[in-house]
C-alpha cells in the first residue's frame, strides 16, 4: 500500500508511533488542488519508500483537522518521532514535495 488512510482511531499508531518519517496529507474530495496533489503523492511514495505517506480526509476527520489547526487544504505535514516538524498548505509538484519532505 502506497498511502495509509488515517483516522482518529489509528492516527496514534500510524503517525505518532511510527519509526519512520511520516508525510501526512490533509485533504478533501471536493478540493481541486487536493485531487491534483493525489497522484503526486503516489509518485512520491513510489520514489521514497523510506517515508510513510498518510492521508486524512478533513471532512471525515474534523477532529484531526482541528487538532492540527488545518485552515487550508491540501496541507502537508512532516512528522518525525511523533512530532510535527513541518507544515505547509497548497499544492506541490514532485520537486516542491521532495524539497519539503526530504
Catalytic residues: 31, 34
- Measuring CA to CA, how many Å separate 31 from each of 10, 27, 80, 83? 24, 7, 27, 27
Neighbours of 56 (CB within 10 A): 25
Name the grid cell of 98: 521532495
Distance of CA 91 to the CA centre of its chain: 12
Q: Provide CB contacts within 8 A for 69, sequence distance 6+.
A: none
Amino acid at each position: 500500500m502506497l498511502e495509509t488512510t488515517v483516522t482518529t482511531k489509528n492516527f496514534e499508531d500510524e503517525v505518532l508511533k511510527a519509526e519512520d518519517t511520516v508525510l501526512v496529507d490533509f485533504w478533501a474530495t471536493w478540493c481541486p488542488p487536493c485531487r491534483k496533489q493525489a497522484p503526486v503523492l503516489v509518485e512520491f511514495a513510489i520514489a521514497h519508500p523510506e517515508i510513510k505517506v498518510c492521508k486524512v480526509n478533513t471532512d471525515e476527520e474534523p477532529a484531526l483537522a482541528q487538532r492540527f489547526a488545518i485552515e487550508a487544504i491540501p496541507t502537508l505535514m512532516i512528522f518525525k518521532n511523533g512530532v510535527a516538524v513541518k507544515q505547509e498548505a497548497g499544492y506541490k509538484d514532485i520537486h516542491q514535495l521532495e524539497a519539503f519532505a526530504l
